Amino acid sequence: MSVSKFTLPDVGEGLTEAEIVEWKVAPGDTIAINQVLVEIETAKSLVELPSPYVGVVGEILVTAGTTVDVGTVIITIRSHADEVDAAVPAEPVAQSGELADAAADAGSTITDEADKVLVGRAAPATMPTRRQRHGGVAAAHASMMPAASPSTAEPLAQPSPAASAGPVIAKPPIRKLAKDLGVDLAQLEGTGPIGDVTREDVLRGATQASVFRNIQTPEWPTDRDEHIPVKGVRKAIAQAMVKSAFTAPHVSLFVDVDATRTMEFVKRLKASTDFAGVRVSPLLIMAKAMIWAVRRNPTVNSTFTDEEIIVRHYVNLGIAAATPRGLIVPNIKEAQDMSLLELASALESLTITARDGKTSPAQMANGTITITNIGVFGMDTGTPILNSGEAGIVALGTIKQKPWVVDGEVRARYVTTIGASFDHRVVDGDVASRFLADVASIIEEPALLLE
């Protein structure tokens, strides 16, 4: 019998510790490759750690709720050589699919005694990743590995039509996403390498993606006080807000805008076959307006250091996202090169990933300017605090019908208030005003984007 030791990996950005949130396995469980072992929370995001081993859970060495340093052994996994098919390698097998991509992005590593094996390399495309909690190790291997050569084993039988109509093949994160979006997996046609349902399949089947859900008003708790430890994402938020508020001198501007033509444009996009299956909202037009205005006023897309001002001639567009775990600001890389359809798809994917708690540290790094959409809460406007390291942030307020003077007559129009804050060390009042006026002009007349 051999015992593999699974250590807490550095999931990126040089993080040194993480909290064990929830164990997904228990001692004695039979586990398969890529099966999620544990959910951890870092200062950046919530991460699921998949297993690179096939075996039986030995000891869980760290209890849920405990914060441990990177490199700490958190679980052991036993393997029985006499129960393992000879075709299966003894060392950890690389991951596949979406979990592998997430681990590769984060730079996860697994330590087995003195040997370190990179987690995140692609596995054979024919390898299913179905979770198995019970049964023997040999059975787990049989379901996880492709058929051996004729000289070593009988070929696997081809599935019958009845078998192909069986349970839907989908990884746990995909099932959770479908549940959150109200999508019936049985109604989807999987496009994955083994006929499994992918994230894209679920997004196509979703009629709407929203971070928020209506909830019932709860009863008052019996405890008079609730003590919430400041750690993880909340600790990172607090540190970033204090650094921004007391380092960069903020200046804020506001403007009321007739957004009627933007609402009409959004309605036409929703009816367009080109945008079928993609969520379209006024936020999309605001994002495009900001990219256009940045090109005309590049100073707002910069950062200040003690030695220099760095003006970026590209846009990594941050979108402030309120999630159950707190405020995070992932960004859309190279947004200036995207078409309207590409930007709409990127916004939808970013929102769903954030709500699902799967935003990686890399997705939140290197932002250049940010949008915060407080209109989803029904707020007219606000004074947003800069995302640390950036010189501009724009707040989009709610869009609702109000009386508005058009050609000397009072009419009902869709009106919004746009607020913005800037780092006054970098952005002077005239630049800030021109930038916000440019954004407002696009919201008033989206046809200007065609110039």
CATH of the domain at 199: 4.10.320.10
Mean local confidence (pLDDT), 273-298:
93
d(CA 98, CA 76): 24
Q: What is the pLDDT of residues 3-34, one digit of tens each?
A: 888 888 876 656 678 888 889 999 988 888 88
Residue 44's pLDDT band (cuts 50, 70, 90): low
Last residue of a domain, one of 120, 150, 180: 150
Residue 161 lies in a domain: no
Q: In what order do the strands lie in the sheet with 73-79?
A: 2-7, 73-79, 55-60, 30-31
| Inter-axis angle of helices 97-106 and 172-181, nearest 10 | 100
User: What tokens were used for 301?
Assistant: 């897309």
Q: Tens digit of pLDDT for each residue in 187-218?
A: 787 888 888 888 777 877 764 334 344 445 67
Is 213 domain-assigned? no
> What is the C-alpha to C-alpha distance for residues 77 and 110, in angstroms, rounded to an integer?
12
Would you place residue 357 in the very low, low, confident or very high pLDDT band (cuts 50, 70, 90)? confident
Q: Check residue 159 and give its pLDDT.
A: 42
Same domain, 146 and 175: no
Do the domain assignments include residue 214?
Answer: no
Q: Are 392 and 420 in contact (CB under 8 A)?
A: yes
In a domain, 74, yes or no: yes
The reply to whether 238 and 319 lie within a common domain is: yes
The mean pLDDT value of the chain amounts to 78
- Identify the domain boundary among 150, 181, 200: 150
CA distances from 355 to 143, 204, 238, 323, 330 (A): 32, 17, 20, 6, 11
C-beta neighbour count of 186 within 10 angstroms: 10
Q: Are residues 94 and 145 in the same domain?
A: yes
> Is 50 exceeded by the pLDDT of residue 127?
no
Query: Do the domain assignments include residue 222?
Result: no
Domain annotation covers residue 163: no
Phi, psi of 309 (to 5 degrees): -105, 125
Work out how many domains the chain is built from and give that number.
3
> Is residue 381 located within the same domain as residue 432?
yes
Q: Are residues 186 and 132 in the same domain?
A: no
Quote the CA–CA distance of 247 and 304 in Å, as a whole number. Answer: 10
Burial class from Cβ neighbours inside 10 Å (0-12, 13-18, 19+) for residue 77 reads buried
Say which CATH number the domain at 370 has: 3.30.559.10
**252 in the same domain as 135:** no
Phi first, then psi: what are they for 414, rounded to 5°? -80, 120
Residues 274 and 400 in one domain: yes
Judged against a pLDDT cut of 90, whether residue 144 lies above it is answered with: no
CB-based contact 293:451 (threshold 8 Å)? no
| Residue 288 or residue 449, greater confidence | 288
CATH code (residue 25): 2.40.50.100
The answer to whether residues 345 and 395 belong to one domain is yes
Claim to verify: residue 189 and residue 330 sit in the same structural domain: no
Contact 440, 418 (CB under 8 A): yes
Within a domain: residue 310?
Answer: yes
Over 50: is that where the pLDDT of 155 sits?
A: no
> pLDDT tier at 162 (50, 70, 90 boundaries)?
very low
- At residue 89, the pLDDT reads 47
| Per-residue pLDDT, 100 | 42
Query: Do 299 and 182 sit in the same domain of this protein?
Result: no
Domain that holds residue 195: 168-208
Measured distance CA(368)–CA(340) in Å, rounded: 19
* 37 found inside a domain: yes
Same domain, yes or no: 54 and 25? yes
Looking at the structure, tell me whether residues 178 and 121 fall in a common domain: no
CA distance 222 to 172: 35
Catalytic residue positions, numbered = 424
Asked if 358 contacts 330 with a C-beta cutoff of 8 angstroms, the reply is no
